[in-house]
Amino acid sequence: MDISVKNAFDKLIKACERIDSLQQKQKRGLSLKRLLAEDIHAFICLISKSGAEERYSYFNEVYQGGAYPSSELDCIVGDGLPRAFIVLNEFDGSVRNKNGVQTAGLFVYFISELGKSYLLSRFDKKDIDSKKYIDYIRSLQDALSRQNEDQSKDNAKATIDAASQKKPLRGTDLVASKKSDEPVETIQEDVPEETIEELLEKLNALIGLAGVKQEVASLINMIKIKKVRDSRGLKTANISKHLVFLGNPGTGKTTVARLLSKIYKQLGVLEKGQLVEVDRAGLVAGYVGQTALKTKGKIDEAMGGILFIDEAYTLAKGGSDFGQEAIDTILKAMEDNRENFVVIVAGYPDPMKQFLESNPGLKSRFNKNIMFDDYTEDELLCIFHAFCKPFSVKLNEEAECCVKMYLHWLVQNKSENFANGREMRNLFELTLENQANRLAEKTDISDEELNEITKDDLPAWVVHPQRSED
């Protein structure tokens, strides 16, 4: 199983299921999931020089749960656009998606990932026609571009018409193929916001991070009591909501920041509660004056929520570097928007401390540090199991023993920039790739074999870590 293909396929399937439910309401009775299966079959047949049926059969079993065998599909291989893509493209043209995500774009992304997985596989690449794959993707991208151009023209016309009539422009005026009195439906379902209790439950369910959880709980309690005192007209100390997250990569800093943004909203501290993640490249431009504009754009996007700056110390390089311009712009926004704008800076402990001490304005505004410690070997094992769980795969006894021994060695010999959870994600993906390569040579694969990770599936540097060090 290819993780990139699965992730892309899952997103596309969710969109198809939502659109199918909308179309059933409209009594069209069209199954997009079946059309998609037929298009996938046709695509695999198109790019395969040989072995197309075996290739699709494997895809159907692993990714579709065996729901659409090729014997039950109408396989149409031709020069036209895939039928599911056409339906998705038409849907995008008839509604205005709240997230700005094109469902047809999800189709293109998935097909691109599926084709790449075959081209990069040592078992498949010799039997795949790369030119047909490239031409197929280009045809989809061209169709997508035309759709975007048509939508832009319709939007521009709607703007001109509204201006000429001196009417305020509404979102529904920008929908190309809807009448003004028709409701606009999107694939975004109304999901109730999580409560404080639910968000804290998610926080506490994270593996490890005991110190972080306590710090966040204390911060929340202080904000709650401050709101009570404010409501009763009592004096309260000023609580800085801006935070410094210190720790190595993969220790959950972004995950906690995302939860905290929602918690702040539920507490009434922030209006929207979104998290906008940036790094130096997202803030700093190459010319004088451009950095301030670029940074202000990110600040505006984060207003009402949290601006999360990863590896923030890279902004302070000294000399004529434009990073200082970004810092000054952010500090001014923090001063001007104290009630509805929060900044969290994150990075390695030592560089972050030097970064904060380099500027009095930074040190005075970021006076709350939260330390994200490296995971222990037991916690790393739990993280690896957490990656396995959604795919129903498990380490057998021998493989589990090998992984435990490797994690013990890893924690004892970790570098200063140890990647923590990312190490486990990389290990999991490599292990699944090795398992796929091992099982692909077999003709009859049982469910037990698909769901079992053996010692042979583990990378050599896991089974023999001392040798890899040598």
| 461 close to 409: Cβ distance less than 8 angstroms | no
Domain boundaries, the chain: 3-174, 196-372, 377-469
Q: Token pair 């810092």 is at which residue? A: 327
pLDDT band at 306 (very low <50, low <70, confident <90, very high): very high
pLDDT of residue 464: 83
pLDDT at residue number 8: 85
Res 4 pLDDT > 70: yes
Query: Number of H helices and number of E strands within the chain?
Result: 20, 7
Lowest mean pLDDT segment, chosen from 127-141, 144-158, 426-440: 144-158
Residue 2 banded pLDDT, cuts 50, 70, 90: confident
Q: 377-469 sits in which CATH class?
A: mainly alpha
C-alpha to C-alpha distance for 305 and 341, rounded to whole angstroms = 6
For residue 271, give Cα distances in angstroms to 306, 335, 419: 11, 17, 34
Residue with the larger pLDDT of the pair 444 and 25: 444
Does the pLDDT of residue 314 top 70, yes or no?
A: yes
Residues ≥6 apart with Cβ < 8 Å to 354:
313
What is residue 97's predicted lDDT score, i.e. its pLDDT? Answer: 43
Confidence of residue 165 (pLDDT cuts 50, 70, 90): very low
Residue 105 has pLDDT above 80, yes or no: yes
Alpha-carbon span 328 to 309, nearest angstrom: 14
The per-residue pLDDT for 78 is: 54
- Looking at residue 192, its pLDDT comes to 61
Ranges 16-20, 342-346, 435-439: which has the least confidence? 16-20
Taking only the tens place, the pLDDT of each residue in 41-83 is 989 999 898 888 888 888 888 888 888 888 877 655 555 788 8
Could you read off the pLDDT of 254-268 as tens digits, one per residue?
A: 999 999 999 999 988
Segments of 50-127 assigned E as strands: none
Fold that domain 196-372 belongs to in CATH: Rossmann fold (3.40.50)
CB-based contact 203:256 (threshold 8 Å): yes
To the nearest whole percent, how much of the chain has pLDDT over 90? 27
Least confident of 4-13, 123-132, 201-210, 232-241: 123-132
pLDDT at 196 over 60: yes
Q: Can you tell me the distance from the alpha carbon of 196 to that of 458, in angstroms, rounded to the nearest whole number?
A: 40
> What is the pLDDT confidence band of residue 190, given thresholds at 50, 70 and 90?
very low
CA neighbor of 344 nearest in space, from 313, 308, 311: 308
DSSP for 243-300, please give it: EEEEE-TTSSHHHHHHHHHHHHHHTTS-SS--EEEE-HHHH--SSTTHHHHHHHHHHH
Say what percent of the chain tops pLDDT 70.
83
Q: Is it the case that residue 36 has pLDDT exceeding 50?
A: yes
What is the rounded average pLDDT of the residues 191-196?
72
The residue among 403 and 186 whose pLDDT is bigger is: 403
Q: Give the pLDDT band (50/70/90) at residue 191.
A: very low
Of the listed ranges 396-400, 414-418, 422-426, the least confidently predicted one is 414-418
Q: Are the CB atoms for 30 and 20 separated by under 8 Å?
A: yes
Q: Predicted confidence band at 166 (pLDDT cuts at 50, 70, 90)?
A: very low
What single DSSP character describes residue 464? S
Give the per-residue pLDDT at 320: 60
pLDDT digits (tens, 9 = 90+) for 356-397: 888 888 888 888 899 999 999 999 999 999 999 888 899 999
- Please report which confidence band the pLDDT of residue 173 belongs to, taking 50, 70 and 90 as the band edges: very low
C-alpha angle with apex 334: 331 to 335, nearest 5 degrees?
A: 90
Residue with structure tokens 């030119």? 131
Half-sphere exposure of 322 (CA within 13 A, CB side): 16
Residues 281-294: tens digit of each pLDDT: 889 887 767 888 89
CA distance 429 to 436: 11
User: Cβ(121)–Cβ(79) under 8 Å?
Assistant: no
The arithmetic mean of pLDDT across residues 19-29, rounded, is 59
Supply the pTM of this predicted model.
Answer: 0.58
CA separation for the pair 247, 258 (Å, rounded): 16
